[in-house]
Structure 1
């Protein structure tokens, strides 16, 4: 075999090795998702040295009735893997229909993935009764046991939105938001998205896939 052929063969054999080493060294960090909503900075001792570490907020427990009348807890949503959350009202004619339509895309993408759930919390429980939510859910093709539309007492919903997801209030009233949250199995927010943007929802779909991949390769 001539030297040029030998060199070419060597390069061909070397490419897969280099690709493997690159992915092994950089693949994990490259696709790691950030964590949002920092709570405080703590100090931990590692190898005899103190290091500062950010402690991120965990969404507190909740329990609200769904469009089917059954109460849904965060444990049921998060312990399965992850859930996508948003705050809306059925009387909102602006951003809410856009967000709900985009969430329908997310539901369809992960229709066969039981670890992915969706939770839409009303900000107007006075109007959005279980019956009203049931009609709204049907309008957007919500799959039973997959996409939950949740109502409850106003104080509890306000606390969940403002204290746990840190949405802003208008005076003492909670208003619908175009923001969508990705919550992992540790009940931490791993992504925030504009629910009216197709591009942002595409990013959400991608990052759900990344999160599921990390679960499968822990």
Structure 2
């Protein structure tokens, strides 16, 4: 009787230990919060020319060769955009001198009808986003919509003039294709910087 009970106890302990081991293994393989594999095979840096915050023409294709971190904002946004830009600013700070030298951040306007280069420059300055290597882009609405379509995104203008849009950001590899995508409000700057370091090789 004692021997039967001991065998049963040993079996239960073994099952519990195996379950705990599997749980730890699963935790070790989980994605970081808000950090996901890319689900888009499009070339996201096509030969489309936009205008930066300094009034210069920038072809997205010219950004190939280095990783690019892209998000979408607009200057009159009073809700999520300042939070998105604050998250990017935290990432920029952690990247340090690598920003500009080894990676660029690109913020594309969702309101090109109103976001002139001067407005983007003012937004960048007021949100601590004036670092070298961080580009704000606007351009003809049709071109902005073309770029959004490549990212499988769209913008919707509401009756009050605000724009409903995604809060995703994207890490683009040197070849112009997505490596990672993020819920930009949830992801930690450390997780993004780790992805960037891997993309830099």
Q: TM-score, normalised by structure 2?
A: 0.72
What residue number does 1:78 align with?
64
Distance 2:138 2:127 in 1: 17
Distance 2:64 2:89 in 1: 19
**Corresponding residue to 2:147 among 157, 160, 164:** 160
What residue number does 2:185 align with?
196
**Corresponding residue to 1:105 among 90, 115, 136:** 90
Q: Cα offset for 1:144? A: 5.2
What SS class does the counterpart of residue 72 from structure 1 fall into? strand
Change (3 A) 1:155 1:161: same
What residue number does 1:41 align with?
none
Q: TM-score, normalised by structure 1?
A: 0.67
What residue number does 2:129 align with?
142
What SS class does the counterpart of residue 76 from structure 2 fall into? coil
Distance 2:76 2:166 in 1: 13
Do 1:82 and 1:185's aligned partners in 2 also have CA atoms closer than 8 Å? yes
Alignment root-mean-square deviation, CA: 2.3
Do 2:170 and 2:182's aligned partners in 1 also have CA atoms closer than 8 Å? yes
Distance 1:137 1:130 in 2: 10
Distance 1:174 1:91 in 2: 10
Gaps of 5+ in 1: 1-32, 38-55, 214-218
Gaps of 5+ in 2: 1-35
